[in-house]
Structure 1
Amino acid sequence: MRIAARRSARARTTPASICGSIPSSPPRSKPRYVRLSASPRPAYAAPPPLPPKNRVRRSTASVASVSLRDRAIRLLARREYARAELERRLVGKGGERSEVRAVLDALAAEGLLSDARYASALVTQKAGSHSRRSIVETLKAKGVAREDIDAALGKTELDDEAALSALWQRRFGAAPTDERDKARQVRFLQARGFELSAILKLLRGVEGRS
């Protein structure tokens, strides 16, 4: 306790001149930032323009003809077409009739389009499942000329009675169970072009054997 009292008394008796003689530390100066002036960028000359491409522009009619030809060839690659049928198809897709006919003339000259070949293919396809009359009517509706129809029919032997019997056997193979079933069979066979009298004759024979 005595030591603490002596220290406090000594502190009170310290002259103010001594405190004032102690030099104070100078204040810190803030760092100065020097703004550097941006050096001017060197000027670059713009690159010379590229030379224009030499593009060959085809006329609208030429482009349309090429498009029609490609479309016609794609259709013919799937199956045979009659000329009139293919013309209706291309005109229905927006082709000009005069341009379509010019394209079809070229395809016919190249042997890619043939009504005679189409008629032969259709007769071969429908023989045995359609009557002769039905096949002829289908070819006429497709716009095939009569001489091409006769030539195609002459290459394939068509027997309506044999075709009717074979078709009924493949489709049904059993006598009708009732009048409703009989009417259903008759409608189907008539839709293939067979005469009603021939159909009823066939069914009477089938019912007589059952």
Structure 2
Amino acid sequence: MGFHKISLTGRALKYLSQREHSRLELERKLAPYVEEGEDLAAVLDALEAKNFINPERVAQSVLYRRSGKLGASRVLHELRSKGLDDDTVRAAAEQLKDTEHARAWDVWLRKFGEPATTPQERMKQMRFLASRGFGGDVVNKVLRGQAPDED
């Protein structure tokens, strides 16, 4: 059985078949495999030209996977870390803004389910929601027991 070398394109397509990847993510993952005479940028350009790498799809994938558990600031940080452009991140922020209270409420319900009875418990709930990336105004609404449909 001979040794078979996977091309950079083949490796990139393997990663893309598992989930959406941004150009920066693929660059980071493929860099260790680049050999003399290979042009990683050209490989990525070709994949982008064929729409295999698509920033909007990457953003939608992250929103779908992460927004149920995380607040906007954490989700947007993840998008930026993937090297997505400002317009794509801004569009994602708009999408998240409308559902922030409802998402924070769902996370709070799953984790705690009932209002805090002591200042310590209230602080614990606040810290938990804040650590998940929910903003202070939304956290306060949730901890006051204000359900999303009361906005």
Which protein has the bigger helix share? Answer: 2
TM-score range, shorter chain: 0.7 to 0.9
What residue number does 1:67 align with? 7
Partners of 1:171 and 1:163 lie apart in 2 by 12
Question: Which residue type is aligned with residue 58 of structure 2?
Answer: Y
Q: Deviations over 1:4-60 (max 9, x none)?
A: xxxxxxxxxxxxxxxxxxxxxxxxxxxxxxxxxxxxxxxxxxxxxxxxxxxxxxxxx
Give the equivalent residue in structure 2 for 1:7: none
Q: Calculate the TM-score normalised by the size of structure 2.
A: 0.74
Instruction: Tell me, yes or no, if the aligned pair for 2:8 and 2:43 is still in contact at 8 Å.
Output: yes
* Deviation digits for residues 96-129 of structure 1 (CA, Å, limit 9, x no counterpart): 6962222111111122111121012212333343
How much does 1:89 deviate? 1.6
Q: 2:124 matched to which residue of 1?
A: 184
Contact kept in structure 1, 2:72 and 2:96, CA below 8 Å: no
1:116 paired with 2:56, answer: yes
Distance 1:149 1:158 in 2: 15
- 1:178 shift after superposition: 4.6
Aligned: 1:95 with 2:34: yes
- Percent identity, please: 32
CA distance in 1, matches of 2:17, 2:26: 12
Choose between structure 1 and 2 for higher RCO, CA contacts under 8 A separated by at least 6 residues. 2
What amino acid is aligned across from residue 139 of structure 1 in structure 2? L
Larger Rg computed on CA atoms? 1
How far apart in 2 are the matches of 1:85 and 1:72? 10
> Match for residue 145 of structure 1?
85
Q: Provide structure 2 residue ranges, at least 5 long, that are not aligned to the other structure.
A: 147-151
Query: Do 1:124 and 1:156's aligned partners in 2 also have CA atoms closer than 8 Å?
Result: no
CA distance in 1, matches of 2:98, 2:17: 28
Q: Tell me whether 132-141 or 171-180 shows the greater mean CA deviation.
A: 171-180
* Cα deviation, residue 132, structure 1: 2.4
**Offset at residue 80 of structure 1 (A):** 0.5
Give SS of 2:52's match: coil
1:173 corresponds to: 113
Q: Which SS does the other structure have where 1:136 is aligned?
A: helix
2:34 maps to a residue whose letter is G
Question: CA offset at residue 144 of structure 1?
Answer: 0.2
The whole-number CA distance in structure 2 between the counterparts of 1:188 and 1:162 is 16
- Superposition deviation, residue 168 in structure 1: 0.5
**Aligned residue number for residue 132 of structure 1:** 72
Q: Which amino acid aligns with 2:125?
A: Q
Deviation of 1:180 (Å): 4.8
